[in-house]
Amino acid sequence: MLEFPIQYDEPLFRPPSEGRSLIIQITLGCSWNKCSFCEMYTSKQFKARNQDDVFKDIEAFKSHSENITKVFLADGDPLVLSNKRLIPILQKLNETFPNLRRISTYASPSNLMRKTAEELLDLRKNGLSLLYVGIESGDSEVLEAIQKGETYQTTVDGLNKSKKAGMDSSVMIINGVGGKLLSKQHAIHSARVLNATQPKFASTLVLTAHKGMEHYKNRYLGEFIELEEIELFEEMKLFLENIELETTIFRSDHASNSLVLKGVLGRDKNAMIAQIEEAIALGRGNRLRSHQGY
Ligand code: SF4
């Protein structure tokens, strides 16, 4: 049996759409590691990997170089690194893989705000073209409660700054993350963040407490009352009613969603709202919850 050429530092996460990409870990863990809903990297101490080790991982795929068209940089927030460290990695990827079409990574709005416009442009020129940004909510009160370390404004500014540098973004909102008490403002302000940034891709998933709801509540700053399924649908409806997007590809099809929605916003906005109204009337979504996960 052929051995996989590199050994990852587990756990390893990547967005579903990067399933066919080569994943290169350039940092381990997440430098923030505080969000109340996120257990992805709580077992890891954040660190930047040694450049020689990163280059060795890239070299290990040299014999497959013709076939590699997409690379995803892991773990949680590689853009916390300086351009002095990032640019040589991007250049090495471009030199090693002649058919490379896309380099992507997770990024936080704060990562983006800490870079100058020139630095972002430099990253884009060297091939970094898609950012996965977990916005989670556009509402500053919710963002504070979930310890995201962002506000409505930092999110809008960070996303627009990267857009100006020519980078696309794929953003994610968490349905139910503010519970019953903040549900309405979460829905409305999350729609407003998207309207103000017009991302290329957007998706939603349902809040999943991987270590149980009590654990989530303990990390949530404030009172949290979980939404019932119908209330999750109502929150989604209010979110979509407030959406004013032009050509964003929207997906709400993560395993955590019992109501699957897909389309282009704004074109398919009314059809999606009608689907939600049907789910509310029936009291159930259009698929059974099979499993949960990131
Ligand atoms: S959600 Fe993102 S920023 Fe927050 S702790 Fe998890 S990986 Fe880090």
Q: What's the confidence (pLDDT) of residue 291? A: 41
Domain span at residue 46?
1-106
In this structure, are 94 and 147 located in the same domain?
no
In this structure, are 3 and 140 located in the same domain?
no
Q: % helix / strand / coil in the chain, to the nearest 5?
A: 40, 20, 40
Structural domain includes residue 294: no
Cβ–ligand 1 distance for 30 under 6 Å, the answer yes
The total domain count for the chain is 2
Structural domain includes residue 166: yes
Residue 263 bridge partners (DSSP): 250
Q: Name the one residue in this structure whose structure tokens are 């990695």.
A: 89
d(CA 254, CA 294): 8
Q: How far lies 240's CA from each of 90, 144, 180, 207, 276, in Å? A: 37, 23, 18, 18, 10
Top mutation candidate among 41, 133, 207 for ligand 1, by most atoms within 8 Å of CB: 41
d(CA 132, CA 184): 25
In this structure, are 95 and 161 located in the same domain?
no
Structural domain includes residue 117: no
Structural domain includes residue 263: yes
For the chain of 294 residues, list the mean pLDDT of each consecutive stretch of 10.
83 94 97 95 95 97 92 96 98 97 97 97 98 98 98 98 98 98 98 98 94 94 96 97 97 87 95 95 72 39
Cβ–ligand 1 distance for 108 under 6 Å, the answer yes
In this structure, are 236 and 176 located in the same domain?
yes
Q: What's the confidence (pLDDT) of residue 293? A: 38
Cβ–ligand 1 distance for 41 under 6 Å, the answer yes
Task: Give me the helix-helix angle, 229-241 and 269-282, nearest 10°.
Answer: 160
d(CA 126, CA 90): 6
Q: What's the confidence (pLDDT) of residue 290? A: 42
Structural domain includes residue 115: no
